Structure 1
Amino acid sequence: MRGTTNRSTTRRLRTVLSAAIAVCAVTAVLPAAATAAPATGAAGSLTSTVERISVAPDGTQGNGSSTTASITPSGRHVAFTSSATNLGSGASSAANRPYLRDQQTGQTKRVSDYTPLGPVTVSGDGGYVTYALQWMRNVRVRMEQMSSGSAIAANCSAWSCNQSSFSADGRYLALVILHNQRGSEYQTIEVQDSRTGTTQVVSNMPHLIESRPSMSGDARYVAFQDGESKDVFLRNLPGNSMVGPIEGPSVAASLVQLSDDGSKVVYVAGSDTYVYDVASATSQPVPNVRGVAIDPTGRHLLYAPAGTTGASSLTLRDLQTGTDEIVSTQPASAGTNAVSTGGHDVVFQSTAADIVPDDTNGASDVFVRHFS
C-alpha cells in the first residue's frame, strides 16, 4: 500500500476530460547529499544517520521548500514535492513540482510540470508516481510511469476523484470518486486495474466526508474510514467480505494506514493509537501517541506526541520489543508511507536548520533517517 493523497472538495459536476497529457521528466545526477554524523538513538540501541535528499545536482541545498515525501519498502525511492528551481535542469518556476529520488543511483527526476494538490505517492517498486491535481474546477488523479515517461489518468468520469493508494506493482489503484447526480452528493471507493480497465467497488457512502482508502501491496485488502460515522473498516477484495468497525461500535476512530502486507491496520481513537491484527482480530494499544505511519510489515510504528497534528518530534517504535528510536527531536512531520521495511529508513520533512550541517536556506527540506 503506497499512501493516500489529500482531497480538495469540488462542489460542481463537470464533463469528463480524456485528453492525454505528455510528461516532462528531467533527470539530475546527485552526488552525496549532506549527512549528519552517526548517532545512537537516545531511547534505543541502533546507530543512525540522517541525510538531506532535497538537494541540487551539485549537492548544495535546494533554493525552495520541499515536503510531502513517501518512501518505497526497500528504501530505494523517495517521492516528494518541491518549489526549488535548482533540483534539476528545466525548472522554470517556483511552483511545487513532483520529484522522485533514487537513493541507489543518486538521481533525482522531476516527474512532471504539474502542481500536486497534496502528497505524491510512489508504488512499491518505484515504477509509478501518483498525485492529485486541479483540473479545470475538478480534481483528478494522475499516475506517471517512470520508465516510459507516459501518464495514465485514473478513470474519474463522475465529478472528482482523489485519495489514491497503490498496489506494490502499480497495477491497482484505490481511490475515492465523488458523485453528484441530480443534486445528490455521495462517494464511492473503487479499485481500478490499469491493465484490464476493470473496476471493483469497495464501498458506497451517502456523504462526501473523507474516506482515506489504504490498499495492501498485493491489492487483496483495502482499509478505509467512514468519515461521518468515525468508523474504520477492512474489505477483503477476493472474498468480497467486510470487517468492521474494527475499533468497536462505540468508539470514534480515524484510519492511519494499512500495512503493505495487509496484516495490520493502524487507527487513532482519542489520544491513543491502536494496531489491529487482521489474523487475530485484536487491537494492540499504543497509549498517548499519535500514529503517523507503519512499516510494510506492520512491526514498526512511526508516531508523534498525542494531541499534535502538525510539526512535532518523531519516534519509531518496534511493536514487538517496545523499544523506541528517535527520528527527529526537532519539529518535523511525516505522512503515510514514510517508513521502509524493517524500519531501516524513515523519510520526513522539517524547517529546522540544525538537522544536517550547512542548512541555511530557511525552508522546509526532506530528510531520511537511516537506522542500522
Structure 2
Amino acid sequence: MRGHARRSVSGRGRRALSAAVAVCAVTAVLPATATAAPAIASGAGVERISVAADGTQGDGDSAGASITSDGRHIVFSSAAKNLTADTTTATERVYVRDQRTGQTKGLGFLTPSHSPVISDDGEYAAYYGRWFNDWRIRLDQVATAREISLDCSAYSCSQPSLNADGRHIAYAITTSKLPPIGQRVEVQDLNAHTKEIVAELDHTMSARPSISGDGRFVAYQDALAQDVLLWDRTDGTVSGPVEGASVAAALVQLSDDGGKVVYLSGSDTYVHDVASGTAQLVPDVRGVAIDPTGRYLLYAPRGTGGPSLVLRDLRTGTDETVSDQPASAGTDAVGAGGRDVVFQSTADDIVPDDTNGKSDVFVRHYY
C-alpha cells in the first residue's frame, strides 16, 4: 500500500479523508472555480524531470509521467536521445528518474502507446505498445532494466495497472482473434504465478482497469454500457455500477487505498466512497487523478481561461494551482497526501532556461 503522507501548506494540516453517508447520494457540491494558489512553502517549487543526470535538457519530446506515492521515482516516456548514455537514437523509450539520486535510467525499447505506470516502491514499471499486429505489455524490474515475463503473450494485452509492491498487475486482454470477440480483464499474481478473471466484456472498448495498492480491488469500466464497476478479490464479487442505475459514467481511477473511485459523468466529476456508497460531486471539471489516500483530486477545469491543472483538497474544498500554463497529466500523477504532482507541458517558462522547444515532464512539490 502507498504511504499516507501528511503535509502542511500555508498553515493548513492535512489528514486522510474520512467517509460517511448513504448509497449513491451526492453529499457535497464544491465550487468549480479554482482559488488562487497559496504561497509556496519553503522547499516547495517546480522542477523539470525530463533531463539527463547532469541536468542537460532533453532533445526530444517527453510525456506520460507517473509518480510513486513518496515522490521519489517518476516514470515517463521520451523521444530524447540524450537522457542516458545507452540511448543513441530518437526512438521513444520509457525512463525512470530517481529524485533522491538524480539518476535517470532507461528501460526497454518497446515504444509505449500510453503513459507508463510504476509500483509504489519504485521496483517495477509497466507499459504497453504495438508488437507487430498485437499489443504487448512490458513489465520491467527498474534496478536491472530486466523484463519480467507475463502470461498473456497469446493475446493482445494492454492497459496495465500495478499494485503497491508490483506483485499484482491488472490488465485488459483483447480476444479479437478468438470467438467470442471481446475483452477480458485479468489480475496476475507474479509471485504465485496465478491469474484471476475480473470481468469478461462483449466488446473491445477500453476497460481502463485500476488496481488498489494491496491488490484486493480492481475498478474497471464497461465502456459500452457506460458503467463503472468494482471487483473484490477476496470473494471474486463485482459491485456496481458505482454511479447508480441509468447514469452514464467513465472511470478515471481507483485510489491506492481502495476507498475512492473517481469517475466522470456528463461535464462533472464524482468521487465515490466505497465504504459508504456515497458520491462527492465536483462540478464542471474533468477529473484526472486522485492521490493514494483518496483526499486530493487533480482536475482540469472546463472552459477557457484560468489554470490548466488544479489540485483540490476534497475535505476542505480548497484548490491549489498545479500549472497556469497549458499542461496535461494522467492517472498516478499525484503523490500521497497531494505532496507532489507530475505533468507535461510544452510551455517554455515553467522553469528557467527551457530552450529545447519540446514537451517536457515537470513535478510540482508543495513542500
Matched, 1:303 2:299: yes
The structure 1 residue matched to 2:36, chosen from 22, 27, 42, is: 42
Letter matched to residue 356 of structure 2: N
Greater relative contact order (Cα < 8 A, sep 6+): 2
The structure 2 residue matched to 1:286, chosen from 282, 289, 312, is: 282
2:198 aligns with 202
1:179 aligns with 175
Letter matched to residue 270 of structure 1: G
2:115 aligns with 119
CA 1:131/1:64 → structure 2, altered by over 3 Å: closer, same or farther? same
Conserved 8 A contact 2:175-2:182 = yes
**How many Å apart are 1:307 and its aligned residue?**
6.1
User: What does the per-residue CA deviation read over 1:154-200, in whole Å, with 9 as the maximum and x for residues that have no partner?
Assistant: 22144301001001000100000111355531111000011121101
Conserved 8 A contact 1:46-1:325 = no
2:329 aligns with 334
**Alignment identity in percent?**
57
1:354 aligns with 349
Letter matched to residue 249 of structure 1: A
1:242 aligns with 238
Matched, 1:269 2:248: no
CA distance in 1, matches of 2:177, 2:62: 39
Aligned-pair Cα RMSD in Å: 1.6
CA 1:316/1:237 → structure 2, altered by over 3 Å: closer, same or farther? same
CA distance in 2, matches of 1:234, 1:184: 24
CA distance in 1, matches of 2:257, 2:179: 40
CA 1:169/1:182 → structure 2, altered by over 3 Å: closer, same or farther? closer
CA distance in 1, matches of 2:144, 2:348: 37
CA 1:359/1:45 → structure 2, altered by over 3 Å: closer, same or farther? closer
TM-score normalized by the length of structure 2: 0.87
User: What does the per-residue CA deviation read over 1:12-43, in whole Å, with 9 as the maximum and x for residues that have no partner?
Assistant: xxxxxxxxxxxxxxxxxxxxxxxxxxxxx834
Unpaired segments ≥5 residues, structure 2: 3-34
The structure 2 residue matched to 1:76, chosen from 72, 78, 93, is: 72
2:146 aligns with 150
Unpaired segments ≥5 residues, structure 1: 3-40
CA distance in 2, matches of 1:223, 1:57: 37
The structure 2 residue matched to 1:141, chosen from 137, 142, 150, is: 137
Letter matched to residue 365 of structure 2: H
CA 1:128/1:78 → structure 2, altered by over 3 Å: closer, same or farther? same
Q: Any idea what SS the aligned residue of 2:121 has?
A: coil
CA distance in 2, matches of 1:215, 1:209: 19
CA distance in 2, matches of 1:150, 1:369: 30
**How many Å apart are 1:112 and its aligned residue?**
1.9
Letter matched to residue 350 of structure 2: I
Letter matched to residue 225 of structure 2: S
2:165 aligns with 169
CA 1:88/1:182 → structure 2, altered by over 3 Å: closer, same or farther? closer
Between 345-354 and 56-65, report the one with greater CA deviation.
56-65
1:16 aligns with none
CA distance in 1, matches of 2:111, 2:173: 20
CA distance in 2, matches of 1:132, 1:97: 11
CA distance in 1, matches of 2:178, 2:121: 42
